[in-house]
A and B are shown apart, each in its own frame.
Chain A
Amino acid sequence: MEQKHWKALKENDDANALKYFYDQYIKLLYKYGYHFCQDAALVEDCVQDLYLRLWEKRRSLGETDNVKLYLMVSLKRSIFEKLKKNNKVTSDDQIEDTFDVSFTMEESIIHSETDKINKDKLLKTLASLSGRQKEVIYLRFYNGFTPEEVSEVMNISNQSVRNLQASALKKMRNNMGDGLNLLLIGFLIENFQ
């Protein structure tokens, strides 16, 4: 399906194909971009530019087996360029690590005081992870990306993806101590090892 639309975009100047990729990925892209830069207007600009560029360059687009990843990488690049231009940051490394997400837990699952303490502890620990660690968790766990997809989007090796996961989990384990098995951490660890 996706390949069909990609071909239609490249070869038939099909604006509907562009619309297809917009409908398909706009939400993911906006959210992903926003986690790097909490400036809605800037992210919206970048998303818009991304699709306009996709249209302009449609004839020279290469084959891609994963449009989603292609768009995410392009968006990330354009956000970084904009941030650099605005002198908000100086190097790519600095931005790479600015990925930020807040974790929440619905109150209904808190049954006891212990739960509450564990919850707070967990949220605090998650908040203290580095940008790259959060990005791995966000993509892997909350968006269901495979380790290969994560490595492509983040432009790092499979091994680095594994290392980031491991270091995030280690940090959580250390901070959580005995409360570890109580909250989501349990399945996080199961899932990531």
Chain B
Amino acid sequence: MSSIDKYIENKDFVNWALGDSSYDEQWQQYLVQHPEEKDDVEEAKAFIQKTQIKEPYFSVQREKEIWDQISSNIVPSKTVKEVKLPWVKYAAAMIALGLMIGFYYYNFVPSNHVEMAHQGFTKDVQLPDGSKVALNAGTSISYNKDEFTDERRIELNGEAFFDVKKGSLFQVQSAKGNVTVLGTSFNIFARKDSWVIECFSGKVLVEDRKGKTVTLTKGEGVKYAKGEFIILDTFGDTPSWQEGIFTYKNESLEQVFQEVQRQFNVRIIYQNKEIQHLRFTGTITNKSLSTTMKVISKTMGINFEIKKNQEVEVSM
């Protein structure tokens, strides 16, 4: 041990051992001149390098997750415009695919491309393969630009309508599960705890996180609740949110008001907490905040007041 003392007490040596390459030449030369010292030098080097500080463990996974949270809260693109969707009829080779997905715990992969529509706006996005996506208010999607051509996987947070070109696998991933195109078109609705998929035409494969699958064809839909798929019927050719129409059947007011918040970029202030649990059946639109609030308040027998600062107060 004592033979390495002269090294560990030498400042230049320590700097070199700790990785300061400006000392490389000096010590390499020294080793050439004193080949017999090689073992001691190695030992001294190891000694210096092995005296460590216990650093906390910070996993790559966590690093990625934190970045995901950051990136989902920033707006990379300045071009957010209001969109009237010019959904032209595409050639037969194209697939119309409507998706509405609530996607709250999602993983971005590095080099992901993110698109986002603010509250109160929708946004029209073209994917690298030519597919089109209409983002509803308060929605973001992300996908890996490099891998997109091979495998079209998209992560979605919020609501969007996809018009997908025929091609390789096309999959939309969400917290509750994935929806995969099987050469046709379909529509999905999913929010927070609920995940509802409606098929307007063609065929899609729905798979939850546990691997349970269900295949939907035209006119079929499923609602995912407590790990089970419950069969629903669907109507029309496209999801009605595209026309700014939102229809609810025995839905909690909390869910309804969440939509109101997104569509009008307002904040709902509850004077009475119980309001959130009332059930609403009816149709609202995104044309006028006061009309929408009137419809809801009359149906439910509650009061509302539109305040400044984009706030709406509701009370019983």
Contact = CB atoms under 8 A, between A and B. Distances in A.
B91 interface: no
Interface string A90-108: 0000000000011111101
A60 interface: no
Given A26-B63, A27-B63, A48-B66, A187 B8 contact: yes
A103 B52 CA distance: 6
A13 interface: yes
Contact of A187 (B9, B67, B114): B9
Interface stretch (B32-40, B71-79, B95-103, B252-260): B71-79
A24 to B, nearest CB: 12
Contacts of B21: none
B50 A109 contact: yes
Contacts of B15: 191
Interface residues of A, number: 41
Contact of B58 (A30, A51, A103, A115): A30
A15 interface: yes
A30 B52 contact: no
Contacts of A19: 67, 71
A166 to B, nearest CB: 16
A190 B10 contact: yes
Interface string B33-67: 00000000000001110111111101000110011
A112 B1 contact: yes
B69 interface: yes
A172 to B, nearest CB: 13
Contacts of A163: none
A191 B10 CA distance: 8
Contacts, number: 98
A84 to B, nearest CB: 22
Given A15-B74, A31-B58, A55-B74, A105 B63 contact: no
A103 B53 contact: yes
A174 to B, nearest CB: 18
Interface string A1-37: 0000000000001010011001000110011001100
B70 interface: yes
A48 B78 contact: no
Contact of B56 (A30, A55, A109): A30
A103 to B, nearest CB: 6
Interface residues of B, number: 34
B182 interface: no
A40 B74 CA distance: 23
B5 interface: yes
B312 interface: no
Nearest to A190: B11
B8 A186 contact: yes
A4 to B, nearest CB: 18
B76 A15 contact: yes
Interface in A41-75: 44, 47-48, 51-52, 55
A181 B71 CA distance: 50
B39 to A, nearest CB: 14
Given A30-B58, A44-B62, A115-B1, A101 B8 contact: no
B268 interface: no
Nearest to B60: A27
A187 B20 CA distance: 15
Nearest to A16: B76
A56 to B, nearest CB: 8
Contacts of A51: 70
A55 B78 CA distance: 13
B176 to A, nearest CB: 25
A156 B256 CA distance: 55
A133 to B, nearest CB: 14
A51 B5 CA distance: 45
A22 B108 CA distance: 15
Nearest to A107: B50
18 contacts: A15-B76, A31-B55, A31-B56, A47-B66, A48-B66, A48-B69, A52-B74, A55-B70, A104-B54, A105-B52, A109-B47, A112-B1, A115-B1, A142-B52, A182-B5, A186-B9, A187-B14, A190-B14
Given A18-B74, A108-B50, A144-B18, 6 more contacts: A26-B63, A31-B58, A101-B53, A105-B52, A190-B11, A191-B15
Interface of B: 1, 5, 8-11, 13-15, 18, 20, 46-48, 50-56, 58, 62-63, 66-67, 69-71, 73-74, 76, 78, 114
Interface of A: 13, 15, 18-19, 22, 26-27, 30-31, 34-35, 38, 40, 44, 47-48, 51-52, 55, 101-106, 108-109, 111-112, 115, 138, 142, 144, 181-184, 186-187, 190-191
